[in-house]
Amino acid sequence: MTGLTLRLVRSVSSSPLFARVGPHVVPAVDRWVHRLTRGRVLPSARALPGAVITSRGARSGLPRTNPLACMPERDGSWILIGSNFGRPQHPAWTANLLAHPEAGMSWRGREFRVRARLLEGAERDEVWARALAFWPPFAVYQARVERRIRIFRLVRLPDGPEDGTGAPSGSGPGGTGGTG
């Protein structure tokens, strides 16, 4: 993406209109295209690196699939920012990961299991500073809300047995969709 295009995308994604429309349009298009291309294409990943996370619903226990922007780390882990496009409530996927930290992840066409951990304290502060440099609209999202945006680190788990749904244990990619 060129510098001009990136600045335009950042500006649009910081707008109040996008905060109202984006959460309904972006994930739906991402899920549809990701499914259609068998995990090879994630449209929103043209602006930010993206992954598809399938976790168990915090209350229902059912698989919930969410395309999410992520920040790959040098150590092979990934950072997820629960900004919810600057909307007042935490996104449902964050409650799912708090209740059931083991999940499935589709990253660049590969599927595997991960474990999520909520970042707190100095570690969270350090990652938040890097996240703002990575995607400045996160600062706009935080300024819009009173809640503290949740940040998770995802670490790949060793390959293991499946959970009976055809996905890696922990409800891997390919679940039923939804957010909570």
pLDDT digits (tens, 9 = 90+) for 16-63: 777 677 767 776 777 777 677 766 666 666 667 889 999 999 999 999
CA–CA separation, 27 and 161 (whole Å): 29
Handedness of CA 89, 114, 154, 9 (dihedral sign): negative
DSSP string computed for 40-75: S--GGGGTS-EEEEEEE-TTT--EEEEEEE-EE-TT
Query: For 117-174, what is each residue's pLDDT tens digit?
Result: 999 999 999 999 999 998 888 999 999 999 999 999 999 999 865 543 334 444 444 4
pLDDT at 158: 92
Show Cβ contacts of residue 58 under 8 Å, excluding neighbours closer than 6 positions: 92, 95, 96, 98, 99, 100, 180
pLDDT digits (tens, 9 = 90+) for 20-33: 777 677 767 777 77
Tens of pLDDT, residue by residue over 69-103, are 899 999 999 999 999 988 899 999 999 999 999 99
State yes or no: pLDDT of 177 exceeds 70: no
Does the pTM surpass 0.75? The reply is no
Query: What was the pLDDT predicted at 138?
Result: 93
